[in-house]
Amino acid sequence: MFDKDRFVENCREAVKDGQAAVRDVVTEAVSDPRGVISALGEATQAGITPLYRDRDLTVLNFTWAPCMSLMPHDHHMFAVIGIYSGREDNVFWRRNEDTIEAAGAKSLGVGDVATLGTNIIHSVLNPIGKMTTAIHVYGGDFFDPPKPRSEWDHETLTESPWDIDKVRARFREAEERFNLHANA
């Protein structure tokens, strides 16, 4: 059975050995999606919930609103993503002379785990009509990265500084849009 405190402690130990060791911990956790849901609760609203944060490690519980997308962005630290309900589609981007261009994609379902390197740029979409939940583990302080993060506009692919308050607002707006349509 998934235990949040034990999971965080296992991640704290694994981060010392690097991303592959963290991936093993996340893979084990999401192999029991019902256990994760039982420990963390059913998703009731979209958002980013910190489970642990220090300068070497951040563990977040992400809940994506139905049909929500998040603009391309970077992290400047490795990430391990484990899905325990729903789907998460990632588009991977690479820099070119003036902007970014799509370079690949990966769709994740329940029990799937993805690793993102330090320099990866990705965008995220919940392609289904229900909440998607995932554990994201970062090899650093997600909220205070070693250098300023960027995000890119969906339409123009124009780069701008990443802003956690704007990201949180996008989660709220996506949930509100979905709730309006669901109750119409």
DSSP 10-53: HHHHHGGG-HHHHHHHHHHHHTSHHHHHHHH----S-EEEEEEE
Say which amino acid occupies 32.
D
Q: What pLDDT digit, counting tens, does each position of 47-89 carry?
A: 999 999 999 999 999 999 999 999 999 999 999 999 999 999 9
The pLDDT of residue 172: 86
**Is a pLDDT exceeding 70 seen at residue 17?**
yes
Distance CA 64, CA 183 (A): 19
**Is a pLDDT exceeding 70 seen at residue 184?**
no
Distance CA 23, CA 59 (A): 12
What are the angstrom distances between the C-alpha of 126 and each of 70, 98, 108? 9, 28, 10
The pLDDT of residue 164: 85
Q: What pLDDT digit, counting tens, does each position of 106-164 carry?
A: 999 999 999 999 999 999 999 999 999 999 999 999 999 989 999 999 999 999 999 88
Q: What is the CATH number of domain 4-182?
A: 2.60.120.10
The pLDDT of residue 72: 97
Distance CA 34, CA 139 (A): 26
Whole-structure pTM value: 0.92
Distance CA 77, CA 56 (A): 10
Q: Are 28 and 115 in contact (CB under 8 A)?
A: no
| Orientation angle between helical segments 19-30 and 4-14, nearest 10 degrees | 160
